[in-house]
Amino acid sequence: MTFAETALPPSQETRALLIAAASIAILAAVWIFQGLGYAPCELCLTQRYAFYAAIPLALLTSLVASNSAHGLARAGFALLALLFVASAVLAAYHAGVEYHWWAGPTACTGGLTGSPDVNDLVNTLNSVKVVRCDEVQLRIAGLSLAGWNVVASAVLAAYAAVAARL
């Protein structure tokens, strides 16, 4: 079996299962990093939604492909491709926030506005731990996890798009 046959098997069912497996592996990796103490920010958590949605969609696509509903399987792959394109866009936005190319959501970036009451500030600091979206907690080979999500989502989007056309 060649690499091409392994990466892009002839069966639509297997292609969909590979997408589900990749989504599970990516979620497992981020949960492991979280378990190691790398707390996710608001944008990190939002980026996970695509992978949560991709798993049942890929499994459903595999099911309809196994029942020879190739038109429905193609539609499933097309939806997966769109889902991963949206994930790549969100991850690119987050990476841009980390590099300070543009402002992120005020819930997890930015500073104080106005003159706060010291007592309110102390109470807030004691009760809330905000993980900032504009600070990279971990880089792997020079890319933040948001940067790696751009890569992973783009690859999965391309894979699903190719699978939809086969």
For the segment 107-132, what is each residue's pLDDT rounded down to a tens digit? Answer: 776 555 556 677 766 666 666 667 88
In a domain, 137, yes or no: yes
Parent domain of 49: 7-106+114-165
> 107 — phi, psi (to 5°)?
-70, -25
Whether residue 2 is contained in a domain is answered as no
In a domain, 1, yes or no: no
Domain count, the chain: 1
Q: Where are the alpha helices (DSSP H) in 67-130?
A: 70-98, 118-127
Tell me the whole-structure pTM to 2 decimals. 0.83
pLDDT of residue 114: 58
Q: Please, what sign has the CA dihedral across residues 27, 30, 35, 39?
A: negative
Predicted pLDDT at 29: 96
Please give the Cα distance from 157 to 90 (Å, whole number).
13
Residue 83 lies in a domain: yes
Distances (CA, A) of 43 to 1, 92, 108: 40, 11, 8
- The answer, yes or no, to whether residue 17 has pLDDT greater than 80, is yes
Q: At residue 1, does pLDDT exceed 70?
A: no
> pLDDT band at residue 35, thresholds of 50, 70 and 90?
very high
Residue 69 lies in a domain: yes
